Amino acid sequence: MKTTFFLILVFSSIINCNSQTAEEFFYKGVAKADLQDYRGAISDYNKTIEINPNSANAYINRGVAKFELQDYSGAISDYNKAIEINPDDANAYNNRGNAKRKLQDYRGTISDCNKAIEINPNHAEAYYNRGIAKYELQDCSGAISDFTKVIEINPDDANAYYNRGAAKINLGQKNSGCLDLSKAGELGYSQAYDVIKEFCN
C-alpha cells in the first residue's frame, strides 16, 4: 500500500515537472487502481488516451476500472475499442465476456470466451467465465468441463471447485459434487461449507 502511494507521488511529480506523456498518466492510473481509486484511475486513463488514442492497454485498464464501478456497458465499450486496436488480445475478449455476463448476456459471454481461448488455450479465467455462463444457461455438463479445465491449469482455484461441485450436484452427481465443495472449503472458500450442510449431509 505504501509503495503504491509512493508511486503516485513520484508520477505526480514527474507529470508536474516535465512534459506530460501517455506512459506517465497510464502508470499513475495503474497505481490509483491498485488503491481502488477507480474514478481517479479513469481520469488518468482518459488523459493517456487523449495523448495516445491507440493505447489498447489504456482502454483495457479503463474498462476494468469501469467494471469495478459496475459500469458494465461502459466497460464493454472500452473493450470494444481495445479489440479494434489489437484483435489478438485474449484478455480484452475475456474481460468483455465477463462484463456481458454481468449484464446476463450469457451467450455473448460464451462467444467472447471462445475467442479468448482460441487466442490463448490456457486462459483459465476465460474457461471460468465461460463455465459460469454455461451454468446460467443450464448447461451443467459444459460448465463442469470448463471448471475442470480451470482446475487443470490452476489446481488451487477454490472458485472452480465450488462451481464444479454445484454443477455436479445439479446433475445428480452428489458424491463427486460434495467432494468438490469440500476441496473448495479446504482451499479457503468458506461458503462451500454452508452448501455442504444443505446438500451433502
pLDDT digits (tens, 9 = 90+) for 25-76: 999 999 999 999 999 999 999 999 999 999 999 999 999 999 999 999 999 9
Query: Domain 1-71, what fold?
Result: 1.25.40
Orientation angle between helical segments 56-68 and 72-85, nearest 10 degrees: 170
Q: What are the helix (H) ranges across the chain?
A: 2-17, 22-34, 38-51, 56-68, 72-85, 90-102, 106-119, 124-136, 140-153, 158-170, 174-186, 191-199
pLDDT at 19: 58
Query: Are 94 and 113 in contact, with CB atoms under 8 Å apart?
Result: yes
Terminal alpha carbon distance of the chain: 43
Residue 148 cell numbers, joined: 475442470
Ranges under pLDDT 50 in the chain? 1-18
pLDDT for position 20? 81
For the segment(s) 88-155, the CATH number from 3.40.50.920, 3.30.70.2190, 3.90.1150.10, 1.25.40.10 is 1.25.40.10
Listed in sequence order, the residues at least 6 apart from 72 whose beta carbon sits closer than 8 Å to its beta carbon are 66, 99, 100, 102, 103
Domain map of the chain by residue range? 1-71, 88-155, 157-201
- Predicted confidence at residue 88, as pLDDT, reads 98
Coil, strand or helix at 58: helix
3-state secondary structure of 200: coil
CA distances from residue 103 to 42, 90, 125, 167, 169 in whole angstroms, order as listed: 21, 20, 18, 21, 26
What's the predicted TM-score (pTM) here? 0.87
129, three cell numbers: 467465465
Who contacts 182 (Cβ-Cβ below 8 Å, separation ≥6)?
192, 196, 200
Q: Can you give the pLDDT at residue 127?
A: 98
